[in-house]
Amino acid sequence: MTEGVGPADRGRRPDSAGTRSQTLDRGIRVLEALRDAQAPMAIAELARSLGVHRSIVYRILRTLEDHRLVSRTADGAYELGLGLPILARGVRHDLQSAALPVLSLLANDLGRTAFLVVPSGNEAITLLTVEPRQSVAHIAYAPGMRHPLDRGAPGLAVLAAWPPRPDERPEVAEVRCRGWAYSRSEVLPGMSAVAAPIHSAAVVASVATVYLETPVPGGRSRQELGERVLAAAKEIMVDLP
Protein backbone atom coordinates (compact mmCIF):
# COMPACT_ATOMS: atom_id res chain seq x y z
CA MET A 1 0.00 0.00 0.00
CA THR A 2 1.35 3.40 -0.96
CA GLU A 3 1.06 6.06 1.72
CA GLY A 4 -0.15 9.50 0.72
CA VAL A 5 1.92 12.62 1.11
CA GLY A 6 0.55 14.97 3.75
CA PRO A 7 1.11 18.71 4.16
CA ALA A 8 3.93 18.13 6.66
CA ASP A 9 5.84 16.13 4.02
CA ARG A 10 5.75 18.88 1.38
CA GLY A 11 8.60 21.31 1.01
CA ARG A 12 11.25 18.79 2.06
CA ARG A 13 14.53 18.50 0.23
CA PRO A 14 14.14 17.00 -3.29
CA ASP A 15 16.30 13.96 -2.50
CA SER A 16 14.26 12.92 0.56
CA ALA A 17 11.91 10.58 -1.32
CA GLY A 18 14.71 8.67 -3.00
CA THR A 19 17.27 8.45 -0.21
CA ARG A 20 15.19 8.40 2.98
CA SER A 21 12.46 6.26 4.47
CA GLN A 22 9.25 8.28 4.71
CA THR A 23 7.66 5.77 7.08
CA LEU A 24 10.64 5.80 9.44
CA ASP A 25 10.71 9.60 9.33
CA ARG A 26 7.05 9.72 10.31
CA GLY A 27 7.59 7.20 13.10
CA ILE A 28 10.34 9.32 14.57
CA ARG A 29 8.17 12.41 14.30
CA VAL A 30 5.41 10.58 16.20
CA LEU A 31 7.88 9.94 19.02
CA GLU A 32 9.02 13.58 18.93
CA ALA A 33 5.42 14.81 19.04
CA LEU A 34 4.69 12.66 22.11
CA ARG A 35 7.87 13.92 23.77
CA ASP A 36 7.08 17.56 23.10
CA ALA A 37 3.46 17.22 24.23
CA GLN A 38 4.61 15.73 27.56
CA ALA A 39 1.14 14.18 27.83
CA PRO A 40 -0.69 11.31 26.09
CA MET A 41 -2.06 12.16 22.63
CA ALA A 42 -4.98 10.73 20.70
CA ILE A 43 -4.53 9.39 17.17
CA ALA A 44 -6.42 12.37 15.75
CA GLU A 45 -4.08 14.80 17.51
CA LEU A 46 -1.01 13.01 16.18
CA ALA A 47 -2.47 12.92 12.68
CA ARG A 48 -2.99 16.69 12.78
CA SER A 49 0.50 17.19 14.14
CA LEU A 50 2.07 15.22 11.29
CA GLY A 51 -0.35 16.40 8.63
CA VAL A 52 -1.25 12.87 7.50
CA HIS A 53 -4.31 10.60 7.55
CA ARG A 54 -5.28 8.87 10.79
CA SER A 55 -4.87 5.44 9.21
CA ILE A 56 -1.18 6.14 8.57
CA VAL A 57 -0.64 7.22 12.17
CA TYR A 58 -2.54 4.17 13.42
CA ARG A 59 -0.23 1.78 11.54
CA ILE A 60 2.85 3.60 12.81
CA LEU A 61 1.60 3.50 16.39
CA ARG A 62 0.80 -0.22 16.22
CA THR A 63 4.36 -0.92 15.03
CA LEU A 64 5.91 1.29 17.71
CA GLU A 65 3.69 -0.38 20.30
CA ASP A 66 4.93 -3.81 19.22
CA HIS A 67 8.45 -2.65 20.08
CA ARG A 68 7.35 -1.00 23.36
CA LEU A 69 8.35 2.43 22.10
CA VAL A 70 4.83 3.74 22.74
CA SER A 71 2.03 2.50 24.96
CA ARG A 72 -1.72 3.09 25.20
CA THR A 73 -3.38 4.69 28.19
CA ALA A 74 -6.70 3.55 29.63
CA ASP A 75 -8.60 6.04 27.47
CA GLY A 76 -6.90 4.95 24.24
CA ALA A 77 -4.39 7.78 23.92
CA TYR A 78 -0.69 7.14 23.32
CA GLU A 79 2.42 8.01 25.29
CA LEU A 80 6.11 7.16 25.11
CA GLY A 81 6.83 3.56 26.09
CA LEU A 82 9.23 1.81 28.42
CA GLY A 83 11.30 0.51 25.53
CA LEU A 84 12.82 3.94 24.99
CA PRO A 85 14.88 4.14 28.20
CA ILE A 86 16.08 0.59 27.54
CA LEU A 87 17.38 1.71 24.15
CA ALA A 88 18.85 4.83 25.71
CA ARG A 89 21.05 2.77 28.02
CA GLY A 90 23.22 1.99 25.03
CA VAL A 91 23.80 5.67 24.19
CA ARG A 92 27.25 6.80 25.31
CA HIS A 93 27.47 3.63 27.38
CA ASP A 94 30.99 4.31 28.71
CA LEU A 95 29.97 7.80 29.82
CA GLN A 96 26.77 6.61 31.50
CA SER A 97 28.63 3.80 33.28
CA ALA A 98 31.24 6.21 34.62
CA ALA A 99 28.68 8.84 35.60
CA LEU A 100 25.93 6.78 37.26
CA PRO A 101 27.64 6.00 40.60
CA VAL A 102 28.99 9.54 40.85
CA LEU A 103 25.59 11.08 40.11
CA SER A 104 24.00 8.83 42.72
CA LEU A 105 26.42 10.04 45.39
CA LEU A 106 25.98 13.64 44.29
CA ALA A 107 22.17 13.48 44.37
CA ASN A 108 22.10 11.90 47.81
CA ASP A 109 24.73 14.27 49.17
CA LEU A 110 22.93 17.38 47.95
CA GLY A 111 19.38 16.09 48.35
CA ARG A 112 18.77 17.31 44.79
CA THR A 113 18.43 15.71 41.38
CA ALA A 114 21.76 15.28 39.60
CA PHE A 115 21.96 14.81 35.86
CA LEU A 116 24.30 14.32 32.93
CA VAL A 117 24.05 16.50 29.82
CA VAL A 118 25.57 15.93 26.38
CA PRO A 119 25.68 18.21 23.32
CA SER A 120 23.79 17.41 20.14
CA GLY A 121 24.14 20.05 17.46
CA ASN A 122 23.11 23.33 19.04
CA GLU A 123 21.21 21.67 21.89
CA ALA A 124 22.04 20.36 25.34
CA ILE A 125 20.27 17.05 25.99
CA THR A 126 19.83 15.36 29.35
CA LEU A 127 21.15 11.82 28.98
CA LEU A 128 20.91 10.52 32.54
CA THR A 129 19.28 11.68 35.78
CA VAL A 130 19.41 10.46 39.37
CA GLU A 131 17.02 11.63 42.08
CA PRO A 132 17.99 11.59 45.77
CA ARG A 133 16.81 8.62 47.82
CA GLN A 134 15.80 10.75 50.78
CA SER A 135 14.56 14.27 50.25
CA VAL A 136 11.64 16.28 51.58
CA ALA A 137 11.22 17.86 48.15
CA HIS A 138 13.30 18.01 44.99
CA ILE A 139 12.89 18.95 41.34
CA ALA A 140 12.55 16.09 38.85
CA TYR A 141 14.48 16.47 35.61
CA ALA A 142 13.65 13.79 33.05
CA PRO A 143 16.08 12.26 30.56
CA GLY A 144 15.51 13.68 27.10
CA MET A 145 15.06 17.25 28.31
CA ARG A 146 16.66 19.62 25.83
CA HIS A 147 17.42 23.29 25.55
CA PRO A 148 19.72 25.58 23.52
CA LEU A 149 23.37 24.90 24.23
CA ASP A 150 24.05 28.55 25.05
CA ARG A 151 21.29 28.73 27.68
CA GLY A 152 21.49 27.31 31.18
CA ALA A 153 24.41 26.15 33.30
CA PRO A 154 24.61 22.63 31.78
CA GLY A 155 25.00 24.04 28.27
CA LEU A 156 27.46 26.74 29.33
CA ALA A 157 29.57 24.08 31.03
CA VAL A 158 29.64 22.02 27.82
CA LEU A 159 30.72 25.07 25.80
CA ALA A 160 33.48 25.74 28.32
CA ALA A 161 34.96 22.32 27.54
CA TRP A 162 35.62 23.44 23.96
CA PRO A 163 38.12 26.04 22.71
CA PRO A 164 36.94 29.67 22.92
CA ARG A 165 34.69 30.98 20.15
CA PRO A 166 34.40 34.62 19.05
CA ASP A 167 30.61 34.71 19.53
CA GLU A 168 30.35 32.86 22.84
CA ARG A 169 28.74 34.37 25.93
CA PRO A 170 31.11 35.99 28.45
CA GLU A 171 29.86 33.51 31.05
CA VAL A 172 31.58 30.67 29.16
CA ALA A 173 35.01 32.21 29.75
CA GLU A 174 34.08 32.62 33.42
CA VAL A 175 33.29 28.90 33.60
CA ARG A 176 36.73 28.06 32.22
CA CYS A 177 38.37 30.17 34.93
CA ARG A 178 36.11 29.15 37.83
CA GLY A 179 35.51 25.53 36.85
CA TRP A 180 31.70 25.55 37.12
CA ALA A 181 28.68 27.35 35.68
CA TYR A 182 25.63 28.93 37.27
CA SER A 183 22.34 30.08 35.76
CA ARG A 184 18.91 31.15 36.98
CA SER A 185 15.61 31.00 35.08
CA GLU A 186 17.32 30.33 31.75
CA VAL A 187 15.71 26.93 31.18
CA LEU A 188 13.09 26.47 33.90
CA PRO A 189 11.45 29.65 35.23
CA GLY A 190 12.51 30.37 38.81
CA MET A 191 14.94 27.47 38.90
CA SER A 192 18.70 27.73 39.40
CA ALA A 193 21.30 25.31 38.06
CA VAL A 194 24.95 24.61 38.73
CA ALA A 195 27.05 22.53 36.32
CA ALA A 196 30.63 21.57 35.61
CA PRO A 197 32.22 20.43 32.35
CA ILE A 198 33.29 16.87 31.64
CA HIS A 199 35.87 16.44 28.91
CA SER A 200 38.28 13.79 27.74
CA ALA A 201 39.82 12.73 24.44
CA ALA A 202 36.51 11.16 23.37
CA VAL A 203 33.81 12.84 25.48
CA VAL A 204 32.36 16.28 26.10
CA ALA A 205 29.49 16.60 28.57
CA SER A 206 28.50 18.26 31.84
CA VAL A 207 27.23 17.21 35.24
CA ALA A 208 24.61 19.41 36.86
CA THR A 209 22.02 19.89 39.55
CA VAL A 210 18.89 22.05 39.52
CA TYR A 211 17.14 23.62 42.49
CA LEU A 212 14.83 26.33 43.76
CA GLU A 213 17.07 29.05 45.14
CA THR A 214 15.62 30.10 48.49
CA PRO A 215 17.40 31.02 51.73
CA VAL A 216 17.72 27.88 53.83
CA PRO A 217 19.42 28.04 57.24
CA GLY A 218 22.49 25.85 57.09
CA GLY A 219 22.05 25.28 53.34
CA ARG A 220 24.95 25.17 50.91
CA SER A 221 26.06 28.36 49.23
CA ARG A 222 26.28 28.64 45.45
CA GLN A 223 30.07 28.43 45.74
CA GLU A 224 29.83 25.21 47.76
CA LEU A 225 27.42 23.70 45.25
CA GLY A 226 29.70 24.64 42.38
CA GLU A 227 32.73 23.08 44.03
CA ARG A 228 30.80 19.90 44.83
CA VAL A 229 29.55 19.53 41.26
CA LEU A 230 33.05 20.26 39.94
CA ALA A 231 34.45 17.49 42.16
CA ALA A 232 31.85 15.11 40.72
CA ALA A 233 32.82 16.05 37.17
CA LYS A 234 36.48 15.38 37.91
CA GLU A 235 35.61 12.01 39.42
CA ILE A 236 33.70 11.01 36.29
CA MET A 237 36.60 12.04 34.06
CA VAL A 238 38.94 9.65 35.84
CA ASP A 239 37.10 6.68 34.31
CA LEU A 240 36.73 8.08 30.78
CA PRO A 241 38.92 7.20 27.79
Per-residue pLDDT at 217 = 46
| Beta strand extents in the chain (DSSP E only) | 70-72, 78-80, 114-120, 123-130, 146-148, 181-184, 191-199, 204-212
pLDDT tens for residues 30-78?
Answer: 988 888 887 899 999 999 989 999 999 999 999 998 988 888 999 999 9
* pTM over cut 0.95: no
Dihedral angle over CA of 27, 19, 53, 73, nearest 10: 0
Determine the 3-state secondary structure of 132 from DSSP: coil
Determine the 3-state secondary structure of 118 from DSSP: strand
Domains along the chain with CATH numbers: 7-86 (1.10.10.10), 89-238 (3.30.450.40)
Phi/psi at 145 (5° precision) = -60, 140
Per-residue pLDDT at 93 = 75
From first to last of the 241 residues of the chain, give the pLDDT tens digit: 334 444 444 344 445 456 888 889 898 899 888 888 878 999 999 999 899 999 999 999 999 989 888 889 999 999 888 777 666 666 667 888 889 999 999 999 998 899 999 998 899 988 888 988 865 555 666 777 888 999 999 999 999 999 999 999 999 999 999 999 999 999 888 889 999 999 988 889 999 998 887 655 456 888 999 999 999 999 999 988 7
Least Cα distance to 99 among 208, 220, 176 occurs for 208
Per-residue pLDDT at 84 = 72
